[in-house]
Structure 1
């Protein structure tokens, strides 16, 4: 397959919309990460996403819409809390898991009776949805298990020759996937942390917000479950190199990382170190996936990363760090 590289001009976006409407696949930019899109209501088209990514069939996709009114096309229940969140955070990096209509195919939802829906805060993404004339199912535009793509070059590396087209744009501004919140229970529950935090949602709704208790915890071996949101079950975000996260007081972490680096380099290993300011978690969110991709390009043998505070956006970045490292944490 020849993958076309398209621009963001009106003519190319119209062509991209026609590809989606005809059952094809288009990678497109959002504010979070690049998405790999297909017509969410066409089961054959959505199956192509799973084939292109090598994605497990029970890992649900997120459906992207261009305006709030399209939510009713996907769910039979829109609650006041859902309306409040939509007004506050859409367009933006928030996905709501809601009861799905029968018109949403099983393949789109991983055979669940719920569907994740969001409205991206990216002009090109919304223009593509409008040009296609349908909601677009779109997980991240990477090979399954690899770090999520935040630049068009990342997408080309993984998807060239696998999909119909890629829309070239500037790097994603946020850099980690959307917050996913389950709106089907008595209290909303965060299933995947993101740029919009638990505290943000609690302030908006004026109520307690639950957090899935398995987040940022090493999965128990042999325990099976059906993931309600992407990123909950399978290996994600993994670089080629092994990765160690160092956790503790800042000075102790820096000393331990320097010692580990010196020892590894004395053995002839290529070492990549990832450190972020403990306060600047937004920069960490923006740069982390790109840093993993760069380590792969540099043929790193080992990645050494400093843990972030597990609160606010730091909790969200640590969620990705822990999965990337296979929960390989060294406490110092």
Structure 2
């Protein structure tokens, strides 16, 4: 049976952290609050745990989960290289709603799915999540919902969708802004020639293109062209 802890209750916070840490160590799943939406998390270095995460959400290996970290040092240990532009993004937006895709550290022994040698990494702006991450190490975390359903903004919504597939639920109240993180692909900053070094926006969310442009300038891909109005449509 799943355990639910109210992390807004100071008397439950320490038992909640212990239970979550033990559950992760056993290769089981937890649900945790973040600054965006609730997430379902697993030990990033346990292929069996990551497989459970994907199965709980109804996802395949072609949709690998991002990895949440509690410190920038943890991020640096996961990626092959941190370009200066990514350093600037981390300085501006972390902890926060920006997920950065980079080439993974090739010496790591893990299996997040079909990542093509990359890892999507983020530091959440939520104290419960960051304190837990500093105890467990990096967690594979995806939004706490079934694939195709809206992301959970409350623990009740997460529990209704994921049920007994989760060992521990950490209730942190209403989740952040209820808006998923922005995901950018910064791999070309590492792998491409100088003229081809560009950052692509894979998903717009909590950090806008305009905010990214303030940091990256021309290193950010051109903004998409505005949609053409339909013939005969309202002006």
Query: TM-score of the superposition, structure 2-length normalised?
Result: 0.86
Choose which of 177, 185, 188 in structure 2 pairs with 1:182: 185
- 1:105 CA drift (Å): 2.4
Alignment root-mean-square deviation, CA: 2.2
Secondary structure of the structure 1 residue equivalent to 2:20: helix
Aligned-partner Cα distance in 2 for 1:113–1:160: 32
Report if aligned partners of 1:61, 1:110 keep a CA contact under 8 Å in 2.
Answer: no
Paired residue for 2:65? 61
Paired residue for 1:105? 110
Report if aligned partners of 2:71, 2:134 keep a CA contact under 8 Å in 1.
Answer: no
Choose which of 181, 195, 206 in structure 2 pairs with 1:195: 206
Query: TM-score of the superposition, structure 1-length normalised?
Result: 0.62
- 1:34 CA drift (Å): 0.5
Deviations 1:237-262, CA, capped at 9 Å, x for gaps: xxxxxxxxxx99xxxxxxxxxxxxxx
Aligned-partner Cα distance in 1 for 2:162–2:4: 11
- 1:57 CA drift (Å): 1.7
Higher RCO (C-alpha 8 Å, min separation 6): 2
| 1:82-121 equivalences in 2 (<5 Å) | 82-102=86-106, 103=108, 105-106=110-111, 108-121=112-125
Give 1 or 2 for the bigger CA radius of gyration.
1
For structure 1, which runs of at least 5 residues remain unmatched after alignment? 218-246, 249-330
Report if aligned partners of 1:32, 1:176 keep a CA contact under 8 Å in 2.
Answer: yes
- 1:46 CA drift (Å): 0.5
Secondary structure of the structure 1 residue equivalent to 2:142: coil
Paired residue for 2:5? 6
Deviations 1:266-287, CA, capped at 9 Å, x for gaps: xxxxxxxxxxxxxxxxxxxxxx
Report if aligned partners of 1:190, 1:211 keep a CA contact under 8 Å in 2.
Answer: no
In the alignment, is residue 163 of structure 1 matched against residue 166 of structure 2? yes
Secondary structure of the structure 2 residue equivalent to 1:160: helix
Deviates more, 1:5-14 or 1:65-74: 5-14
| 1:117-266 equivalences in 2 (<5 Å) | 117-132=121-136, 134-185=137-188, 186-210=197-221
Number of aligned residue pairs: give it: 217
Secondary structure of the structure 1 residue equivalent to 2:198: coil
